[in-house]
Amino acid sequence: MLASGMVLSAAAQTQAAPTAATPAGGPAAVPAKIAVIAFQLAVAQTNEGQRDFGDLQKKYAPKEAALKTLSDEIDNLTKQLQTQGASMSEAERSSKAKIIDDKKKQLDRDSEDARNDFQQDMQDMYNGLASKVYDVMQSYAEQQGFTLVLDISQQQTPVLFSSNGTNITKQVIDAYNLKSGVPAPPPQAAAPGSQTAPRPAAPRPTGTH
C-alpha cells in the first residue's frame, strides 16, 4: 500500500491507460496531477492516532514503572557492593553479586517482553488506523483529480523536491478527523520515567488496497 507511487485514477477505474496504438476515438490520456503525502505522519497525527497512542502509553505505564524500580534496585545494590565490598566476607560478596546478576537477567527478560508486546500492540493499532486513513486519502485524491500520490515518509523515497502546494498531508489529516469525529486530544506533558522500553518508529501497515 505504501509503495513509492500509488496510481489513483480519477477518470475511470476500469479503463486502461491509452497507448500510442490507441485508435482514434479511443479514451483520451488523463493529464498527470501529482501529490505527495507523509503517510505515516498523517496516520500518527490524526486525532484518533494521538488518542490511541496515548491509551497505549497508559497501558504500558505500570510495566515501565516496574522496570524503572527494578533498574534502580540493581543500581543501589551495585553501589553497595562497590562501597561495602571490602568489609564483606567472600561469601557475602559472592551472594550479593549473584543477586545483582539474577536481577539484571530478570530486567533484561522483562524489558524484552515489554518491548515486544508494545511493538505488537503498536503494529496492530497502526495497521487498523492506516487502512482507514488510506481510504480517506484515496477519496480525497480522486475528488481533487490527482492521478498519482507519492509517499514521502519512506526513507528511500524517490522524491527529491515537491512544492508545498502538492503536499496533501494536512488535508488528509483534516478530512479524516472530520470523518471520524474524534476530538483533538488535550496537550500532554512528557511522562516522567525511564525509557526501558523504547518507542518504535511508526510501522508500515500490512495488507493491500
Which pLDDT band, with edges at 50, 70 and 90, does 15 fall under? very low
In a domain, 18, yes or no: no
Does 54 score more than 80 pLDDT? yes
In a domain, 37, yes or no: yes
Residue burial 160-177, b: 16+ Cβ < 10 Å; e: rest: eeeeeebebbebbbebbb
| Closest alpha carbon to 203 in 17, 43, 28 | 43
Question: pTM of the prediction?
Answer: 0.69
Question: Could you give the number of structural domains in the chain?
Answer: 1
In a domain, 209, yes or no: no
**Mean pLDDT across the chain, nearest whole number?**
81
Backbone angles phi, psi at 6, to 5 degrees: -120, 115
Does 16 score more than 50 pLDDT? no
- Give the CA count within 13 Å in the CB-facing half-sphere of 76: 6
In a domain, 201, yes or no: no
Between 197 and 79, the more confident residue is 79
Q: What pLDDT, on the 0 to 100 scale, is given for residue 165?
A: 87
Alpha helices in the chain (DSSP H): 39-45, 47-84, 90-144, 169-180
Q: What pLDDT, on the 0 to 100 scale, is given for residue 19?
A: 43
In a domain, 19, yes or no: no
Give the integer Cα–Cα distance in Å for 38 and 20.
34
For residue range 31-47, what is the model confidence (pLDDT) as tens digits? Answer: 789 999 999 999 999 99
Between 59 and 196, the more confident residue is 59
Does 208 score more than 50 pLDDT? no
CATH number at residue 95: 3.30.910.20
Q: What pLDDT, on the 0 to 100 scale, is given for residue 158?
A: 83
In a domain, 17, yes or no: no
Domain that holds residue 110: 5-12+31-180
In a domain, 207, yes or no: no
Give the integer Cα–Cα distance in Å for 36 and 167.
5
Backbone angles phi, psi at 7, to 5 degrees: -80, 120
Which pLDDT band, with edges at 50, 70 and 90, does 85 fall under? confident
In a domain, 185, yes or no: no
